[in-house]
Amino acid sequence: MHVMIKKKNILIFGILILVPVTLLQVSCSSNTILTENLELTLPEQKQMLSSIKRKNDNFYVSNLKNYSPPKENQLIDEAQFRNLKLYNESARVLSDWVLRNLSQKERIQMSRNCDALVGSFKNQFPLNEQTLACAAWWLEKKNNDESAAASRAASPQSTYVRNLSSKQKQDLQNYKGMSFSEAFSQMDPPTLSQAQRLANSALDYASDCSYSGVSSALILRLESFLPNKFVYPAIEKIYTKMQKCLLPDADPSEKIHLRVGLLRLISGYPILAKDALEKTLLEKDPGESSRSLFWLGAIYQKSKPNSKENPYWQRLLKENSISLHAILASQQLGVDPINNLVPDEDISIQARDSNGWSDDNLEAFIFDLFRARNDMSAATEWSNYVGRTSSVTNPNMILYWALGHNAVRNYRYSIFMLGRYGKYIKNYPVSKTMLGLHFPKPYLKEISDYSEDVDPIFVLSLVRQESAFDPYARSGANARGLMQVLPSTAKSIKRKITSNQLYDPEMNLEVGVSYLSRLLKRYDGRVEYVLAAYNAGASNLDKWRDRVLDNNMMLFCDFMPFKETRSYVSLILRNYYWYSRIISEREDLFAKRIQQQSAKARWKSDRVAALLSFSWKSDLEVKNKSILDKIYIFGNSNSNITSNNSDPSWLNEDTKNKNKTYKNINDEIESDEKTAFSNSNKLK
């Protein structure tokens, strides 16, 4: 096949390589690339097919202790490049394409040339010295084509939704056969009297599984009327009748069992709570197993206070070793959480996963090549592109990318890849190097400068969760920058600030820390309240505080209605703990400055401070021990959750026998602790 390239096409294949104008101008004096009637012979498809396969079975398989990025000579050998001059020219063109250094005209011409050269290759790329220049173009085109095909295939499907009138919503028969989500969206009783009528009516239908959707929805809607004394028995009666319909892995089985289990624990009925919480573990892929395991372990540990063997907590430490729940469980078992980490040698990593030049292998090769050539600008830009578009599923390659993104300070996508890693390796172990990947520390100096009376490690922990250190992050709600500050919130603190100024890291930190300090003052330094208000809004938090007492803050946080807020609070407190541990291990002056600033800060978490004191001392001080032991407060004898504290009418005979709090699981005694709900029965 012959192609005639004329002089008017400024960008051409030069010695079978696409070279931008700037590069051609440099080399024109020494060769005859630019001639008016230059005739180029493109390699036949059969010849190029041999380039689809990589040279050998070297997949760069290693572990986190021994892994190091490949050198340039290794990459040249892997791709079987022989013409090094041509390879270097192609690598420069590839970098220019990725960095968008080419003009629009040059990009159009290069796209045409690449399409003619490699456009017919759909699944595997024919990598050689010539085609290297087109590698990024090919991946981008392939991704665009696949995205367009997926969009066409994902045509909206019409689904029939029954919209009930206000009158119909008061009759539960109209909800028969509705899914949970459909029923929940339509059922929202505005008054206590309507909620009571629906609850009483539900008892006639709860045992019929065709009403399980509306029964589940009603249980959650009734929570908004806590602490009224009718709510808990109403929820219990409905749940008891309909729980047989909550099949594992069917929405909302785990949600309802967990909510009822925690509600029972809050109300002083740990054995009943155990029954509900254990049902959550029947799910094939439970979404909140850490919470269920933690509270099952707390119930178990309260019955055997000196035990160092706790099956629930030991499972928790194995499945989610760095979570807040695991940190607390470790402390209660007398184990330093750092000892739950595994050696780096136990964590596998690899950069290629097949003998061909697939999407995943080519993406990694390009990234390795830029790094090996010390072209860090191109490596960072390519990291951004892969973070946005890659569909890699091999967990060892996902970890390769988490490490790679971190190496070029692309922390947002490094953290994102760790999340993807967890989807493919459930309950994955964590090593010390992985701990560093989870908890990078950019902007710490700026955070320290603006923190003043707020613990800078607390601010760092919040920034990590809010934006993953991306200063240009923007949420669907229009929150912006490192601390995800809303423009309206920013103006309440700095009147003349513009929305775009929130993308400036220092301005964002100044405003965000000021707002955080305001919340800390409002809630008297209760960090858990501050985080909940920061995420869900102060009005929602104030409603939740009216419903449940805070004598067991861990239980209060796990019972908050919004899953996002529950996760948000526990994750930031987890970050807070691990950042404190990581910084404490450093000996440099800056780390010592941060530690001193943290120790002197007015606003910080008492719970995290208590956990940290355990990490560094063999015995806990009485004050710190009392803070951490509050996880065992199940109920409050002063509450009026029911009209009869000794024998609630909603308990049947079987349930009464289970309703015990105990010192020993084989020697149960009646509990005088009934509930942790606030004393008032008045709705607010």
- Tens digits of per-residue pLDDT, 612-623? 887 655 566 778
pLDDT in tens, 76-134: 999 999 999 999 999 999 999 999 999 999 999 999 999 989 998 988 999 999 999 99
Question: How far, in Å, CA of 88 to CA of 106, rounded?
Answer: 19
- Between 549 and 66, the more confident residue is 66
pLDDT greater than 50 at residue 515? yes
pLDDT greater than 90 at residue 661? no
pLDDT in tens, 287-311: 999 999 999 999 999 998 878 899 9
Extract the tokens encoding 359.
Answer: 């999407």
pLDDT in tens, 392-407: 999 999 999 999 999 9
The H or E element spanning position 179 is none
pLDDT in tens, 392-451: 999 999 999 999 999 999 999 999 999 999 999 988 999 999 999 999 999 999 999 999
What are the residues facing 349 on neighbouring strands?
A: 62
Question: How far, in Å, CA of 354 to CA of 361, rounded?
Answer: 8
Rg (CA), the chain: 30
Extract the tokens encoding 526.
Answer: 């209760």
Q: 3-state DSSP call for residue 13?
A: strand
pLDDT above 70 coverage of the chain, percent: 82
- Between 8 and 445, the more confident residue is 445
pLDDT of residue 607: 86
| CA nearest neighbour of 140 among 80, 86, 100 | 100
- Between 26 and 256, the more confident residue is 256
- State how far the alpha carbon of 369 is from the alpha carbons of 72, 91, 355, in Å: 7, 8, 18
What is the arithmetic mean of pLDDT over 236-256? 95
Ranges of H-type helices in 390-443: 395-407, 411-424, 432-438
Q: Which of 106, 381, 466, 673 is catalytic?
A: 466
| CA nearest neighbour of 466 among 522, 519, 411, 544 | 411
In order of start, what are the domains of the chain with their CATH numbers? 2-63+72-143 (no CATH), 170-320 (1.25.40), 344-438 (no CATH), 448-632 (1.10.530.10)
- Between 576 and 672, the more confident residue is 576
**Binning pLDDT at 50, 70 and 90, where does residue 46 land?**
low
pLDDT above 90 coverage of the chain, percent: 71
pLDDT of residue 32: 23
Q: Is 466 a catalytic site residue?
A: yes
pLDDT in tens, 328-356: 999 999 999 999 999 999 999 999 998 88
Q: 3-state DSSP call for residue 63?
A: strand
pLDDT in tens, 179-222: 999 999 999 999 999 999 999 999 999 999 999 999 999 999 99
